[in-house]
Amino acid sequence: MSKRVITPEDLLQLRSVTSPALSSNGEQLVYVETTLHNEKNAYAAELMKTSLTDPHSTVQLTQGEHVNRLPQWSPKEEILAFISNRTGTPQLFLLSGWGEPKQLTEEKKGVTDFKWSPDGTQIAYTSVQLPEDEKEDKEDKQLEPLVVNKMKYKSDASGFWQGEYTHVFTVDIQSHKHSQLTSGEMSYTLLDWMSDSQQVLVTSVNQKDTDFVFTNDLLILSVETKEQVQLTDQTHVISEASVSPDGAYIAMRAHERAYENATHFEIYLLELATTTWTKLTADWDVQLGPVVAADFLQNTVDPGLVWSQDSKSISLLVSSNGNVDVYQVSVDGTREALLTGEQHVYGFALHPDGQTLVAGISTSGHPGDLYLTKVKTNEVTRLTTSNDSVLDELEVVQAEEIRFTHEEGHELQGWLMKPSGFSEGESYPLIVEIHGGPHAMYANSYMHEFQTLTSRGFAVLYINPRGSLGYGQEFVNAVRGDYGGGDYRDIMAAVDYTLEQNPWIDETRLGVTGGSYGGFMTNWIVGHTNRFKAAVTQRSICNWTSFYGVSDIGYYFTEWQIQADLNETDKLWKHSPLAYVNQIETPLLILHGEKDYRCPIEQAEQLYIALKRREKTTTFIRFPEANHELSRSGKPSLRLRRLEAIGQWFDQYL
């Protein structure tokens, strides 16, 4: 059967298979299967259950096209807890006997996260709590002005801050009795339970004025007395912490901001009996955790630091050289690779035997499935086939790795995708894709945008330039203070190398695109060279001076990354693509979300007006109700429209 090329609409056919969760005995697996619906312009995520010994026994546990996510088994029984928006807001539900789910919470703003207690009698959860005068709905509520007294007053993810804080609660599984463990004008992040099931591990910022506070502290909360014990002293950025099953240790993933947000995380081990901290990964120059720039998978969950049953080791995801692997770090600091390869492991569950994994794995040519992996024998068995019927119809292009040494001495890694239906002797245009961040990593992972471009007859080149994670601390830090310098030279060197190695690419038909930092680089490139005949800039930055005050992260991100503030406007302007607008000759499509608070739409407006005033070739598309996550989790109809606009622009000018 002849296969057809991939279209943007295939997003509606393909399924994300994520969030594997194993029962306490390791026999049953539950996972999340997410689909997009264009008619309802929404996402649906259903819970699926299967047996590790009989994958053909798969059953769907939830119905109704709601978003059901974050499944977690009770440590003691075959009871499943999960978050669902079936009642309108995301609430906590229990499922046992595979009947109708029972609702555990009725929080006004919903539940954001939860953890089972080790003894299976309680669940701790977090919920955003409104100020007292906002908790009760008022009839005929008048529009009220927003009074702002802090710099961190808005968020791309949650909008304007209205005085709400995230607090920690517990609920008893039998009695359904709720207890609020935290209160006051500070937010808490739930991490884990202590092994006695009487205390909860959280992080918080114990300070009211947080405008210039970027660290947090590790705390233990007593469920009975609500007393707090502080374990750290505001010296680290803590992203994760986990308690060993025997209660002897707390493992923490954190860093000390040596390179601000470009700093690699480390694993620290606290021995509770001696209150001794040990850095387990001091000699390991990798990024701990997943940092892949991708556009397809939904409801992925970083499992964090996963303890073995014997409390002797921790398993975690590690990003390195375009791959995300699973490694194990023992309490004495030794390391072992559990699952590696040219692939993106986007989640895993560790079997009680400590030597078996269920892992979600994607590659450049496959959206992702769950696999059972035996560590000692390297035996791999595929457990899910959710996309097989669709993929059987599609011509999916595999990316080919490229590696070369830059003339400045460092090695660069990237990938080249040939056009669908590639034929020797034919000539093809090339599109260069640039990831955001800048501290992210392109990987051996499926990218739907890239596939839709190859289906239109374009080759696609994507690399990890200076500033990308996955290649050591020095490499990731090299972009700070040098935006448009070494990173620009890396990208152009990759273009030169690719053209030299692939004479079938038509060097007179080059395109470039990227989003966020990738949008900044797209703007910078077309302002510094006319080699590209078409460009698409997405959710971009063009003016660091205005970005400083309008982005939700502007004032500190600009100081960290450009290493200048409003007292150094000459430097901010020097690194602003808008300063070079007179040199832009490349036809430029500008895509931006109306509610993007990360790179606000005024950045796009400035660039568009500057180009139009100079009678340059440009078009501006504004996406309603869309924030910075448009390409990854925006409304399905807008995601399709975006992909179509990119493809049509390159069709027109290449």
Active site residues per annotation: 516, 628
In 97-198, which ranges are E strands?
102-103, 111-116, 122-129, 154-155, 159-160, 165-172, 178-180, 188-193
Q: Which long-range contacts (CB under 8 A, 24 or more apart) does 41-49 make?
A: 41/635, 41/636, 41/637, 42/635, 42/636, 43/67, 43/298, 43/633, 43/636, 45/69, 45/298, 45/299, 47/71, 47/80, 47/82, 47/95, 48/384, 49/98
Under 8 Å between Cβ of 239 and 231: no
DSSP 3-state of 49: strand
**Residues with Cβ within 8 Å of residue 409, at least 6 apart in sequence:** none
Beta strand 459-463 with 428-434 is parallel
Is 172 exposed, middle or buried, given 0-12, 13-18 or 19+ CB atoms closer than 10 A?
middle
Helix 448-455, helix 636-653: angle, nearest 10 = 40
Q: Compute the chain's Rg from CA coordinates.
A: 25
How far is CA 14 from each of CA 8, 34, 386, 394, 468, rounded to the nearest angstrom? 11, 9, 8, 11, 29
Sign of CA dihedral 448, 450, 454, 457: positive
3-state helix vs strand vs coil in the chain, percent to 5: 20, 35, 45
Alpha-helical regions (H) of 473-553:
473-477, 486-501, 517-526, 544-550
The whole-angstrom separation of Cα 351 and Cα 339 is: 14
Alpha-carbon dihedral of residues 210, 212, 217, 223, nearest 10 degrees?
A: 10
SS3 of 284-352: CCCEEECCECCCCCCCCCCCCCEECCCCCEEEEEEEECCEEEEEEEECCCCEEEEECCCCEEEEEEECC
The whole-angstrom separation of Cα 186 and Cα 195 is: 26
DSSP 3-state of 517: helix
What does residue 391 show for φ and ψ, rounded to 5 degrees? -65, -30
CA-wise closest residue to 546 among 500, 513, 509, 577: 577
Beta strand 618-623 with 287-288 is unpaired
How far is CA 555 from each of CA 367, 564, 582, rounded to the nearest angstrom? 37, 10, 27
Residue found under tokens 């999916």: 396
CA-wise closest residue to 56 among 470, 408, 351, 381: 381
The whole-angstrom separation of Cα 569 and Cα 29 is: 56
What does residue 416 show for φ and ψ, rounded to 5 degrees? -125, 130
